[in-house]
Amino acid sequence: MERLQKVMARAGIASRRKSEELIKEGKVKVNGKVVTELGVKVSSSDRVEVNEVQIEREEPVYFLLYKPRGVISSVSDDKGRKVVTDFFPELRERIYPVGRLDYDTSGLLVLTNDGEFANLLMHPRNQIDKVYVAKVKGIPLRENLRKLERGIHLEDGKTAPAKVKMLSVDKKKGTAIIEITIHEGRNRQVRRMFEAIGHEVLKLKRERYGFLTLKGLSTGDARELTPHEVKQIRALAMESANKNS
Ligand code: URA
């Protein structure tokens, strides 16, 4: 048995707090009866409706995918391109990606059907460190990398300070491999940060998400997260939320 608001949040209806409001407003029915008290618990056999629509209830599942390049971070694509859920053909649960990686970016992506977990990780206040490795055109000056470390102005505002490490340079080809750690998750953020210092990103890979890595996986592989990993990731997001509140 679980609290009604928790079941609603997990189904992706709304945050727990907003779900509580929906309950108080009389918009939620359990087995056909309106419930307005907050203490109610439901089991998997109870039918829950919000605004007259039955919610989907599945056991929560959590996966890590090594996303290849050339795949959309979505559950469907109107142009028929490959999407990240194509890597789970046998799975009955309807999972979706937590955040996104660009079509041309490879690397670590978390997928789940737990709406509350996904919201927690994607909330701007709860951002977890993400480590990317970028191959860029040209060899950036130390001073320009310092700009990324301090935070740089993009059209949607200044970025938070990043950690930047030059891993290698290829003088002949005129390219550099750079590791960059950020905790925000803006659209095309790493590519735009490097563009802002005059370097096009030729290749981008997300290597780490919090403490999760791609260890043991090849491109296109997926594995389930262990219950302990899920707990730890949740704790990490809450910790950063508390720091930033
Ligand atoms: N930053 C980007 O530019 N692209 C991604 O896919 C992820 C982060």
Q: What is the pLDDT of residue 15?
A: 86
Q: What is the pLDDT confidence band of residue 81, given thresholds at 50, 70 and 90?
A: very high
Written as one letter, the residue type at 140 is P
- Residue 69 CB–ligand 1 contact under 6 Å: no
Q: Which pTM does this prediction carry?
A: 0.88
**Class of 62-125+212-243 in CATH:** alpha beta
CA 40 to each of CA 6, 20, 30, 43, 53: distance values in angstroms, whole numbers, following the listed order = 11, 11, 9, 10, 19
CA angle 55-125-142, nearest 5°?
A: 135
Count of CB atoms situated within 10 Å of the CB of 179: 15
Interaxial angle between packed helices 142-150 and 189-196, expressed in degrees from 0 to 180 and rounded to the nearest 10: 130
The residue-averaged pLDDT of 132-148 equals 98
Q: Is the CB of 188 under 6 A from ligand 1?
A: yes
Q: How far is the CA of 138 from the centre of ligand 1 (A)?
A: 19
Please state the domain extents for the chain: 2-54, 62-125+212-243, 130-209
61 CA → ligand 1 middle, Å:
25
Q: Is 130-209 the same fold as 62-125+212-243? A: yes
2-54 has which CATH code? Answer: 3.10.290.10
Fold observed for domain 130-209: Alpha-Beta Plaits (3.30.70)
Mean pLDDT for 150-171 is 97
Contact 57, 44 (CB under 8 A): yes
In short, whether 102's Cβ falls inside 6 Å of ligand 1 is yes
pLDDT at residue number 245: 66
- The secondary structure of residue 73, as a DSSP letter, is S
* Contact criterion met (CB below 8 Å) for 23 and 30: no
